[in-house]
Amino acid sequence: MPVQGATWAAFAYLVSVGTVGVFLLFLFVLKRWQASAVAYLFVLAPFVAGALGAWLLGEDVSPLTALGAILVLAGVYVGALAPAMLAARAAKLRTDSSDLAGKSPLFVERVSRLSANPSTLEWEKATEGKRTARRNILCEDRDNPGHYLNIVFFDSHEAAMENSAMPETDALSRKMMSFADGPPTFYNLDVIDDRE
């Protein structure tokens, strides 16, 4: 049995911090990260031990050891951190489109040949703050110039109906039809899959 207090203090540290504390920290991180990412903590252990030894005990760090430490950190970044950061960035870029997926309504209006470009700027200004359309894409058929598709996104079918019932929407429809040589074709669609 140890008789010196310093030995008992070192023993207590190894049990409480070096073993139990590290294990609890490992479980804490494991709840928040994927297991494949948490596994890189074991790779970092020698790096942390070496850094603490150099800082607290003044141990020498050779150029080869420093190079190895840099390679370990680079490997951890590439293997554990970079994929998560890239995935988070991609998810942020897809937020608008992914929110629309999963049975979100999509309204498509196919208009026959028009004598003028069917701009909706006047309608957008008149319906500012009360329209329920989330996004609008106006396309012209490249193979059939003068034919347009107006694609409008809504949060729900009810929101689409509310938007269609607005007098401003009716006025826009009548204005567009005054330019057309035939009645429009309407499609009420549900977005099943939206990916990049």
Taken in order of first residue, the domains within the chain and their CATH numbers are 5-95 (no CATH), 100-191 (3.30.70.100)
Q: What is the DSSP string of the chain?
A: ---SHHHHHHHHHHHIIIIIIHHHHHHHHHHHS-HHHHTHHHHHHHHHHHHHHHHHS-----HHHHHHHHHHHHHHIIIIIHHHHHHHHHHHHTHHHHHHTTTEEEEEEEE--BSS----HHHHHHTTTT----EEEEEE-TTSTT-EEEEEE-SSHHHHHHHHTSHHHHHHHHHHHHHBSS--EEEEEEE-----
Confidence of residue 101 (pLDDT cuts 50, 70, 90): very low
Lowest mean pLDDT across 17-31, 61-75, 103-117: 103-117
Confidence of residue 83 (pLDDT cuts 50, 70, 90): low
Q: What is the mean pLDDT of the chain?
A: 76
**What integer is the mean pLDDT of 94-119?**
53
Give the pLDDT score at 52. 87
| Residue pair 72/43 in contact by the 8 Å Cβ criterion | yes
Give the pLDDT score at 16. 92
Better-scored residue on pLDDT, 107 or 132: 132
Angle between helix axes 40-56 and 63-76 (nearest 10 degrees) is 140
Instruction: Reply yes or no on whether the pLDDT at 190 is more than 80.
Output: no
**What integer is the mean pLDDT of 127-150?**
80
Whose CA is closest to 36, among 82, 5, 93? 82
Give the pLDDT score at 67. 92
Better-scored residue on pLDDT, 78 or 70: 70
Better-scored residue on pLDDT, 81 or 52: 52
